[in-house]
Amino acid sequence: MYDAKRLKEIEEASAAWAKKTAELLERRPERDKTFQTLSEIPVGRCYTPLSQAGLDYLEDLGFPGSHPYTRGVQPTMYRGRFWTMRQYAGFASAEESNKRYKYLLKQGQTGLSVAFDLPTQIGYDSDHPLAQGEVGKVGVAIDSLMDMEALFDGIPLNRVSTSMTINAPAAVLLAMYVETAAKQGASPETLKGTIQNDILKEYAARGTYIFPPAPSMRIITDIFAFCSQYIPRWNTISISGYHIREAGSTAVQEVAFTLANGIAYVEAALRAGLKVDDFAPRLSFFFNAHMDFFEEIAKFRAARRLWARIMKERFGAKLPKSLMLRFHTQTAGCTLTAQQPQNNVMRVTLQALSAVLGGTQSLHTNSMDEAFSLPSEDAVQIALRTQQIIAFESGVPNTVDPLGGSFYVECLTDEIVQRAQTYLDQIDEQGGAVAAIEQGFIQKEIQESAYAYQRAVESGRQVVVGLNKFKQDEAPLRNFLRVEPAVKESQEAKLEQLKARRDNTAVRGALEKLKGCAQGTDNLMPPIMEAVKCYATLGEICDTLRAVFGEYTAVSTL
């Protein structure tokens, strides 16, 4: 039981929090003033120790929207506004992907998320020999500003938030996006969105890198500086645990390695002369929602708590927004099965629910057919409807952090914090995330976890319904979304036409300026912007930088 002094402290804290949230709600009205269960039981905004007198285990839990943000980054969370429903999409040509974006927006999606094909992700044009067989296959092919203009044709970029999953050539795609918006009449100050721009996890877990770590970190910090001055509402990086988890890490490793990468980016920006509170508010994160429901919820809460501590104690950040870990979530592609693919709908539902209960800011739900191919329209509609049912029918968003104070969730949160901190200490001892990647430490840890999980599935100790238990004979799915080989031919033809009609003298001049800048120390974004405006291609720009920076060779962990 609480003594009188402690009860008074809690009452004062509750009153201060209530005043703060009331002021916020005056500025941003709630969606609906009535919140109740299906049985018409009223639902409070947030439950505190005073909700159930005598439960003193909640003493140090704190409040949503307050440091250390374990319970969420906003006092009102989804009572004021739902998370952004952002379905990841892109395939074949810019024109075909544009149709899918318009379809998704019509279905109620509230943000765009662009998937690029592999040649684009590693800085090659569609006519490059290494692009053979990959053009438009796992995302949309973007070779030049002309393709970016077609991708967003008829979509007002000053009114939609766009996330672009692009890393090594992120600066080039961002420049194309800004210029496309300018052609629509939208100024950079109005643009909202995110570029992933997280190269460290590419070295450790995914593989779509181009340049070595040092020049890659320079490009990233140049983007930080450029955006803080010209595109203030843009999230300059999405530090990604998603791909670390997809590569086979545990939840603890996902938190630890992601935050270690975040620390490396902050340190690099500080070395480049930036002030922490100038760029930290625009850092964002990207996490995986896997199958262990409560562990995932605790993982998101633990990540927020750890990042707030790191930014406050390690880097001396002062602004509240610098301490907040804001994140996008995607359900776990690695958990989808080709066997009994309808089961994937339930998997995605549970994963999406864990992300919402964990306090995500935006969410992508995978489609049930993604173990076979890019998602069909019918499958992606079901995936989006999953989010909408959670938002509008479940009652889950009606109160902030409804699982806060759960013995189990709080214990798991504390355990993940402690275990992730142990990893962070190990990485610091090795000299930080870049050094740990160069030594193969992070890759080896992920590989060992992936191997252990696969062994558990193959032995049956880890049950995967329809795969190693409750199996049945079934007819394979037939309605795949297929990308035709003609997409490559079309892209090659567009490139040929573009190069014939653009001002090639201006292109050569812009690329020479970019080369000179790369050889020096000035910010790379202005010459990249100039090259993009001249319709220099993605491959031409990346090849110019390759000539100066070289290319990265992966570290063997054998």
* Residue 57 confidence class, pLDDT cut points 50, 70, 90: very low
Please name the residue ranges forming H helices in 310-398.
Answer: 320-323, 343-357, 377-392
Strands (E), 396-484: none
What are the structure tokens assigned to 76, written together? 């009102």
Q: Is residue 33 pLDDT above 70, yes or no?
A: no
- pLDDT of 268 reads 96
Residues in Cβ contact with 407 at an 8 Å cutoff, skipping those fewer than 6 apart: 57
Residue 31 and residue 357: Cα distance in Å, rounded? 18
Q: Is residue 54 pLDDT above 70, yes or no?
A: no
Residue 296 and residue 354: Cα distance in Å, rounded? 6
What are the structure tokens assigned to 294, written together? 């409560």
Count of residues making up the chain: 558
Q: Is residue 183 pLDDT above 80, yes or no?
A: yes
Q: Is residue 43 pLDDT above 80, yes or no?
A: no
- pLDDT of 385 reads 97
- pLDDT of 55 reads 42
Lowest mean pLDDT among 20-34, 212-226, 392-406: 20-34
Q: Is residue 30 pLDDT above 70, yes or no?
A: no
Q: Is residue 237 pLDDT above 70, yes or no?
A: yes
Q: 150 to each of 83, 119, 403, how far by Cα in Å? A: 28, 18, 45
End-to-end CA distance of the chain: 56
Residue 191 and residue 231: Cα distance in Å, rounded? 7
* Domain range list for the chain: 84-459, 490-548
Residue 401 and residue 80: Cα distance in Å, rounded? 14
- pLDDT of 50 reads 54
Q: Is residue 167 pLDDT above 80, yes or no?
A: yes
* Residue 29 confidence class, pLDDT cut points 50, 70, 90: low
- pLDDT of 22 reads 72
Q: Is residue 533 pLDDT above 60, yes or no?
A: yes
Region 197-209: what's the mean pLDDT?
95
SS3 269: helix
- pLDDT of 37 reads 64
Residue 120 and residue 139: Cα distance in Å, rounded? 9
* Residue 483 confidence class, pLDDT cut points 50, 70, 90: confident
Residue 229 and residue 225: Cα distance in Å, rounded? 7
* Residue 27 confidence class, pLDDT cut points 50, 70, 90: low
Asked whether the beta carbons of 88 and 194 are under 8 A apart, the reply is no
- pLDDT tens, position by position, 424-482: 999 999 999 999 999 999 999 999 999 999 999 999 999 999 999 999 987 766 677 77
DSSP string covering 424-461, please? HHHHHHTTSHHHHHHTTHHHHHHHHHHHHHHHHHHHTS
Asked whether the beta carbons of 357 and 403 are under 8 A apart, the reply is yes
- pLDDT of 500 reads 97
- pLDDT of 56 reads 42
* Percent of the chain residues topping a pLDDT of 70: 92
Q: What CATH class has 84-459?
A: alpha beta
What does residue 193 show for φ and ψ, rounded to 5 degrees?
165, -165
- pLDDT tens, position by position, 72-127: 999 999 998 999 999 889 999 999 999 999 999 999 998 999 999 999 999 999 99
Q: Is residue 555 pLDDT above 80, yes or no?
A: no
- pLDDT of 405 reads 86
What are the structure tokens assigned to 441, written together? 């430490």
Rounded to 10°, the helix 94-106/377-392 angle is: 30
Residue 514 and residue 508: Cα distance in Å, rounded? 10
- pLDDT of 59 reads 44
Within 10 A of 502 (CB to CB), how many other CB atoms are there?
17
- Helix/strand/coil (H/E/C) assignment for every residue in 216-249: HHHHHHHHHHHHHHHCCCEECEEEECHHHHHCCC
Residues in Cβ contact with 270 at an 8 Å cutoff, skipping those fewer than 6 apart: 276, 315
